[in-house]
Chain A
Amino acid sequence: MGKTFAIARRELGATFFSPVGYVVAALFLCVCMIKLVPPPWYVDEWFILVPGHEASLRPLFDLMALAMVFAVPLLTMRLMSEEFRSGTIETLMTAPVTDTQVILGKFLGVMAFYLMLLGGTLILLVLMMAYGEPDFGVAAMGYLGMVLLGAAFVAVGVFASTLTQHQLLAAVVGILILGIFGVVMPFLIPGAPVPLNYLAEKLSVMTYFKDFSKGIFDSRGLAFFLSAAGLFLFLSVKTLESRRWR
């Protein structure tokens, strides 16, 4: 366990050293702020601070989930790809660490950064407290949903990064996988023919996430996100191991 944390700490440090971490964080927070106040000519309930409307972070959470489809693969693309490219993988894998420890360490390192990113959005909650009375239960459930969704997304990103030594390719693969489940599937639900739309609903990230953002705890969502995270971490370990028998 100590080694896993050592790797996670190194990863977190590397994220803070690279400009990518800052750029992603800045863009993400900018996108979130769009949801703060509607422009005067366009009043809509899908903003956070709308006079006379419910004081809820719900519109923010749905946007954040969508933004993560693009943000997470940019944060995770470096993880293994950079090790392959620079050759540090050789020193890493000849140290007495297991493939599982490496993958888990990398996963936890980015998860820590992801949690900090989420923490940055808490300012919106503070603002809302200044202007209204938000429901903390709903907000807490929304953040729990974001953490679970993050675990699944980061796991997908880690997996994409184990596939190639090119960071850009890793990011593209990650965005594609997350895009299919986060963007394409929700679109298929109303549009696709009967058996397909049913499947799309079961596979769509948003189906499960919407419950959390509404403030509902749904064990199906918990199972969906955790098993997705588990599956992709397992695939990552296997991809890394495959280096030994390829």
Chain B
Amino acid sequence: MQARAKRKRDSAQHKQTRAASKNMKSFTQIPPGTQILIGRAARRRRVLERAICSVFEGWSYEEIIPPIFDYYDVFAKGWGQEEQIYRFIDREGNILALRPEFTSLVAKTVATRLVSSPKPIRLFYSGEVLRFEKPKGGRQREFAQIGIEHYGGAHKAADVEVLLVAVEAFQRLGIQSFQINLGSVDFFGGIVDRIELPKEQIDALKEVLNVKDQSGLEALLQTLPLEERRKNILRAVPHLTGGKAVIAEARSLVKNPRSVEALNHLEEIYSIFERLDLAQHLTIDLGEIRGFDYYTGILFRAYVRGLGFEVASGGRYDGLPAAFGEDVPAVGFSFSLDRLAQIVTPTLENNDANSAAVDIDSDFRKALELRQSGKAVKLCL
């Protein structure tokens, strides 16, 4: 009898310690993909954010602060990468999602609440987004995005405008060696339109082209019933990266109107950049075929020497506002603040040095007076 009671007591104790250690773990361990910014790291983030916001404001973009969650359908429809969306169910049974990006939220707002606002509409946003993906390159599952959206402007002018805003943001941050890679979904899209192959084979083609795998492409082409001229176009696609000469090279390959129109458009943008003495930051990249499904025209990614991942990306997504009920052209981009923070070290003002240390004995009135005169104080408690 006694032994049994002891066993019972032991097991209860055991359960308690287990529960305690489990609780402990949940406080020390932060969920994978989250992070905590403290002190200098937090200030660095804010300094970068403010610098970029001031550039956006300088180009007459107005801030939009959308909710951190919305109906799941908004993101599933607008953004697409369903497996990366954090979703949950509210008490009424609605399926909601934490925002994985801003663009679909902003597009929805423009197509609904701002539907009768005069165009163009220029908006910028800054905040955290959440994606269930492998934390990589300084970007966690929760990460900071800052970007702009331009709705209802003429295509060419709006495309150039958002690119110029991106250029100024880099310059404002003191980054000189940045490259903006400019491509178009319509160039490759026009080629694919002409190829009559089942979707699986098109996907297989995209897969090898996406990683510029020449031998994989060759092996695949052997099995595809395409005429040699089309095969040669596909062989050339991965190499179509560089300056203006790339556009001429691409012209010699394609004749379909969609691709040709894309080349005309890129050439016009490039020429404008040449006239502005900014073409050194622009690379034409027709071999880039990645990108969210919502892109419909130009597509760009920005790289900085010394960082293995892109720091900004964007493009045109005319179909997105239409998906929410209002057909209005749209273009925009976003920066990854976490990645920028790795390559930019903004000069932080040293708060401690500027603050007058006020001894608590000397009374709180002194502290109030200093504060009213705009001085920083630090009470010696």
Do A and B belong to a common assembly?
no
